[in-house]
């Protein structure tokens, strides 16, 4: 009788272990996923001159440097792209960093609400067949936050670029990022998201483009522009910015 009981107990443990493994794979943290360029859409939220001066949680030159790096994702990855915002007497014009770089497959949408996930945007996103969104916006705690939450409600995998956004309150910025993460979005700096998308510096499609963005904008995101011409360690010379 005792061997039978032990056998049954072992079988139950194995069954429980397999079930737990399946549950763990289903509920794996979003941060453990890797974005696929072929499944990705870019969204730029309200990068207009009338809102730029309201951001105080990140120094202006660093902010604009980071926005430029993010803007260069568009010509590098050449994925469907949404630009949210409008130009008028109140909002001003789109930042030159956006208009100069975000040029591939761009679709602009106006709105009257805070969230950029309007019925028109929802229909356009659904038509792309893509389920991953990489998003950044000028205001982390207002329009960007509400757009991210609506995207998560709609079932999209969302990567939020945190250092291309800001607020006029450090507390509000921190709360917004925490809210996004609790809703299942992944947050990270532009460098983190760039290399998550491009993955490999030897990639024939994205490797050199990634290196170019990094050389031009990563040093300036922390210490200011430097002239680094050393090899990158992958057998390729870093291109000059």
Q: What is the pLDDT of residues 125-159, one digit of tens each?
A: 999 999 999 999 999 999 999 999 999 999 999 99
The answer as to whether 72 is a domain residue is yes
The answer as to whether 235 is a domain residue is no
pTM equals: 0.81
pLDDT tens, residue by residue, 36-81: 999 999 999 999 987 878 899 999 999 999 999 999 999 999 999 9
Please name the residue that has the structure tokens 């949680």. 57
Give me the number of domains the chain comprises: 2
Percent of the chain whose predicted confidence (pLDDT) is above 70: 78
**Same domain for 92 and 136:** yes
User: 3-state DSSP call for residue 1?
Assistant: coil
**Same domain for 119 and 14:** no
C-alpha triplet 138, 198, 220: angle, nearest 5° = 50
Q: How far is CA 191 from CA 34, 40, 116, 181, 214, in A?
A: 14, 17, 24, 18, 7
The answer on pLDDT for 238 being more than 50 is no
The answer as to whether 134 is a domain residue is yes
Nearest-angstrom CA–CA distance, 28 and 103: 35
**Same domain for 7 and 38:** no
Which residue segment(s) compose the domain that 2 sits in? Answer: 1-29
């Amino acid at each position: 009788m005792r061997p039978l009981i032990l056998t049954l107990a072992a079988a139950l443990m194995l069954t429980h272990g397999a079930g737990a493994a399946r549950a763990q794979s289903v509920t794996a943290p979003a941060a453990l996923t890797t974005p696929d360029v072929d499944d990705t859409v870019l969204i730029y939220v309200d990068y207009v001159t009338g809102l730029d001066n309201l951001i105080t949680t990140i120094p202006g030159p660093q902010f604009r440097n980071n926005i430029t790096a993010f803007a260069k994702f568009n010509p590098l990855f050449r994925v469907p792209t949404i630009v949210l915002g409008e130009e008028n007497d109140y909002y001003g014009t789109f930042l030159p960093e956006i208009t100069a770089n975000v040029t591939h497959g761009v679709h602009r949408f106006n709105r009257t609400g805070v969230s950029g996930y309007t019925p028109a945007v929802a229909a356009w996103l659904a038509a792309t067949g893509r389920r991953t969104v990489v998003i950044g916006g000028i205001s982390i705690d207002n329009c960007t936050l509400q757009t991210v939450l609506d995207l998560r409600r709609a079932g999209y995998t969302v990567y939020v670029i945190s250092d291309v956004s800001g607020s006029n309150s450090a507390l509000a910025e921190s709360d917004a990022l925490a809210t996004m993460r609790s809703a299942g979005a992944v947050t990270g700096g532009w460098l983190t998201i760039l290399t998550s998308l491009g993955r490999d510096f030897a990639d024939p499609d994205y490797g050199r483009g990634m290196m170019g963005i990094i050389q031009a904008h990563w040093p300036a995101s922390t210490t200011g522009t430097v002239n680094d011409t050393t090899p990158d360690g992958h057998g390729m010379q870093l291109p000059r910015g």
